[in-house]
Amino acid sequence: MAVARASAMVGFVATSNVEGARRYGLTVAGTMAHSFVEAFASEREAFVAFAEDHPNRTTFLVDTYDTLSGVRTAIDTIRALDLAGRLGIRLDSGDLDALARGARSLLDDAGLPHARIFASGGLDEHEVHELVQAGAPVDAFGVGTQLGVSADAPYVDSVYKLTEYAGRPVLKLSAGKASAPGRKQVWRGQAGDLIALRDERSGPPDGAPLLEPVMRGGHRLADAPSLADARERFHADLAAVPTKALRLMHPEHVVVPKSEALQALTERTSADARGRSGG
């Protein structure tokens, strides 16, 4: 359910999660399972049964036994039932580039240029990028596993850091793990982000503060945002990320500058901490 909601938030156009679609008002789309095909005496019988249930939006899963043979069976089924709704086939294994070209050719030769080709099967952003760059005739991608897990960042290495104790700003200087002292606010403006002390008189002229209280005394201070609001915020935030940091390959890390007051406090507290080292 969380993946269905998150995927809708970031721009996916449909989900195969029926309850997710119902709960969040999303478009439901998808096709049969391989087990559906296997449960019939023949692939063709499975396709006919599915098309009779879904005549207006029919996608055939063609790779249970042999992909291009499956595409031919889909074409036969479309002709036999005279299907006229939204038509497509789905590739879920093998060399997706080659199979998409083979399937496109068979569909075009059969007078079905409007039949769409869906590709899926453990795809991630890099494989999608490669297929697009190669010009594979894929009309839509289905992504599940790689969206629902964070395989390239499987944990958030977050650590509690003390920044103030009894009114005194503190930090640690550990190699590669130095922290910055004091209570902070992060500002986002046209010129980028700025980390400042929380009590600095004001942030940059056009900046908005990013840290805001969401709970107080154990209670949340506002209702959760709607999916529409979350989607709007996501797209606005994404648009604010510098292009160089958005690149799929070799993105550049964005270094967020610190305000002069925070820099000065860090220097003072570091000098102080070096004095505290030892006795």
Measured from the CB atom, is 174 or 190 closer to a copy of itself?
Answer: 174
3 state DSSP class of 125: helix
Q: What minimum distance in Å lies between the beta carbon of 178 and a copy of itself?
A: 9
The interface mask with a copy of itself, positions 141-180, x = CB under 8 A, is: ----x--xxxx--xx-x--xxx--xx---xxxxxxxx---
Measured from the CB atom, is 250 or 276 closer to a copy of itself?
Answer: 276
CA dihedral 24, 148, 128, 51 (to 10 degrees): -50
The interface mask with a copy of itself, positions 30-59, x = CB under 8 A, is: ---xxx-xxxxxxxx---------------
Please count the CA atoms within 13 angstroms of the CA of 206 that sit on its side-chain side. Answer: 5
Measured from the CB atom, is 155 or 224 closer to a copy of itself?
Answer: 155
Strands 140-141 and 116-119: parallel
Q: What minimum distance in Å lies between the beta carbon of 230 and a copy of itself?
A: 24
66 binds a copy of itself (CB under 8 A): yes
Q: What minimum distance in Å lies between the beta carbon of 169 and a copy of itself?
A: 10
DSSP codes of every residue in 220-275: ESSPPPPHHHHHHHHHHHHHTS-HHHH-SSSPPPPPPPB-HHHHHHHHHHHHHHHH
125 binds a copy of itself (CB under 8 A): no
122 binds a copy of itself (CB under 8 A): yes
User: φ and ψ at 15, to 5 degrees?
Assistant: -135, 150
Measured from the CB atom, is 24 or 40 closer to a copy of itself?
Answer: 40
Rounded CA-CA distance 214/161 in Å is 20
126 binds a copy of itself (CB under 8 A): no
Measured from the CB atom, is 105 or 145 closer to a copy of itself?
Answer: 145
User: φ and ψ at 25, to 5 degrees?
Assistant: 70, 40
Residue 83 to residues 77, 103, 172, Cα–Cα distance (Å): 8, 18, 69
Please count the CA atoms within 13 angstroms of the CA of 59 that sit on its side-chain side. Answer: 22
Rounded CA-CA distance 117/97 in Å is 11
**Per the structure block, which two tokens stand in for 135?**
């010009």
Q: Which of 18, 55, 65, 108 binds a copy of itself (CB under 8 A)?
A: 65
190 binds a copy of itself (CB under 8 A): no
Q: What minimum distance in Å lies between the beta carbon of 63 and a copy of itself?
A: 5
**Per the structure block, which two tokens stand in for 20?**
């997710």
Q: What minimum distance in Å lies between the beta carbon of 49 and a copy of itself?
A: 13
Q: CB count, 10 Å around CB of 60?
A: 25
The interface mask with a copy of itself, positions 70-109, x = CB under 8 A, is: x-xx--x---------------xxxx--------------
Per CB under 8 A, residues contacting a copy of itself are: 33-35, 37-44, 63-67, 69-70, 72-73, 76, 92-95, 121-122, 145, 148-151, 154-155, 157, 160-162, 165-166, 170-177, 273-274, 276-279
